[in-house]
Amino acid sequence: MDQPKNKRYGMVIDLDKCTGCGACMVACMAENNIPFRDDDTDKLLSVSWMHVYRLSNGKPFPHAEECFLPRPCQHCEGEHGHSPCVSVCPATATDYDMHTGIVSQIYTRCFGCRYCMAACPYHVRQFNWWDPVWPEGMERALNPDVSVRMRGVVEKCSFCYSRYQTALNRAYLEGRRELSEEEYQTACTQACPAGAIVFGDLNNPAHRVHQIVKPDLAHGGRPRNPKVFRLLERLGTHPKVYYLTRRDWVRRAGDNEIQKT
């Protein structure tokens, strides 16, 4: 069977444009049936596939600066798809797909050991400590394209894989196997009112992500654009989420481990 060329779906987030408004978080919650609880203030216990962090340059008033850093799953490629979480999962519940570069999570397969959460250096994985409960009537807003997760399993951002499946369905109906850049976009990318998120195929030189990042694909996709960086680059996880900024302190904050060693 003929198979289209392998994709490496990735994202670049312009931290100089991101306003920290949270539209990406909410669009993600609506798209992906993220549950909510009476008290979601403890962000370590709160399930959110996309989280906006606040970074500070640590300088005193009035030289203080802040930057907002949205953090979806980084979809690490590791070495040949051995991302930190995929390599430790004892249940084959999470997997790296060479065709798309997306790290999957199958909830019915997961038995909740949380090994992957310990392995992930980016805190993108969250555990469902509680049954997801919607107040009466609000479950009508659930999206049938995404499975609702049960208590006791780990979940994380899937780069809106359901939107990929939906886009492919339409393409198949039209007899195509290839998607155009705009046909498959994540919910956060689409929602971002600042236009700070760009999503596409890093392998495809025609896609904006490729043009901005200029990835060195022979070396785990390391960015060639000096303004682009990845979180904890030196760990060798080869994430496919890139960040763009003009500010040096922000770039340094993205790999703060380096300063310590």
Partner 1 sequence: MEEPKSSAPSSRSESETDEKGDGAGAAIILFFILGLAASLLVGWIAFPALLYSEKRQPVDFNHALHNEIVDHGCASCHFFREDGSFSGAPKLAQCIECHREANSDDPEEIRFVEEYVKPGREVPWLVYARQPDCVFFSHAAHVRMGGIDCAVCHGPIGESTSLKPYQVNRITGYSRDIWGWNIAGIKRNTWDRMKMDDCAECHAQARVPGGSVQTQKDGCFVCHK
Partner 2 sequence: MKIDRRSFLAFVFGGAAGTALSPLPWKLTDDISIWTQNWPWTPVPPKGETTYVASTCTLCPGGCGIRVRRVEDRVVKIEGRSDHPVNRGGICPLGAAGVQLLYSPWRVRQPLKKVDGRFVPVSWDQAIGEIAGELRELREAGAPEAVAWIAETDRGTTAELIRRFLTVYGSPNFIRTPSAQDAWETALYLTQGQRATAGFDLERVSFLLSLGSGLLEGWGAPPFVFRACGALQDRNGRFVQLEPRLSKTAAKAHQWLPLQPGTEGTLAFGLIHVILKEGLERKPFVATRTAGLEDLKRNALREAFAPEAVAQATGLEAKTVVELARAFAAAERPLAVCGRGAGRVPGGLQETLAVHFLNALVGSVNVEGGVIAVPEPEYIRWPEPEMDAVASQGMQTPRVDGAGSERYPLARYLLNRLPEALLQGEKPAVRILFVSGGNPLYSLPDSERTAKAFSRIPLLVSLSPFLDETAAAAHYVLPAPTYLERWEDVPGAAGFPKPLIGLVRPVVAPRLATMPTGDVVIRLAQRLGGTLRAAFPWESHEVCLRQTLAAAWEPLRKNGFVLDESFRPQPFETASRKFEFGNAELKPLAEFRPHPAPGDPGVFKLTLVPYDSLRLTAALGTPPFLVKALESEILWKNDIRVEIHPQTARDLGLADGADARLITPRGEARVKLYLTEGIRPGLVGMARGLGRGAHDRYLAGKGASANRLLAAVEDSSGFEAGWGIRARLERA
Question: The tokens of 70 are what?
Answer: 């949205």
Q: Is 136 among the residues that bind partner 2 (CB under 8 A)?
A: yes
Query: Residue 151: which of partner 2, partner 1, none does it interact with, CB under 5 to 8 A by kind?
Result: partner 2
Query: Residue 242: which of partner 2, partner 1, none does it interact with, CB under 5 to 8 A by kind?
Result: none
C-beta closer to partner 1: residue 33 or 189: 33
Cis ω for the linkage preceding 62 (within 30 of 0)? yes
Q: Is 108 among the residues that bind partner 1 (CB under 8 A)?
A: yes
Query: Residue 172: which of partner 2, partner 1, none does it interact with, CB under 5 to 8 A by kind?
Result: partner 1
Q: Which stretch binds partner 1 (CB under 8 A): 174-182, 194-202, 210-218, 236-244?
A: 174-182
Residue 234 in contact with residue 219, Cβ under 8 Å? Answer: no
C-beta closer to partner 1: residue 102 or 187: 102
Parallel, antiparallel, or unpaired: how do β-strands 197-201 and 9-14 relate? antiparallel
- The binder of partner 2 chosen from 38, 90, 173, 219 (CB under 8 A): 38
Residue 74 in contact with residue 116, Cβ under 8 Å? Answer: no
Q: Is 20 among the residues that bind partner 2 (CB under 8 A)?
A: yes
The strand pairing partners of 12, in sequence order, are: 198, 242
Residues 65, 208, 18: CA angle, nearest 5 degrees: 20
Name the one residue in this structure whose structure tokens are 């669009």.
27
What is the Cα–Cα distance from 168 to 235, expressed in whole angstroms?
34
Residues that bind partner 1 (CB under 8 A): 1, 3, 6, 80-82, 86, 89, 92, 95-100, 102, 104, 106-109, 145-148, 158, 161-162, 165-166, 168-175, 177
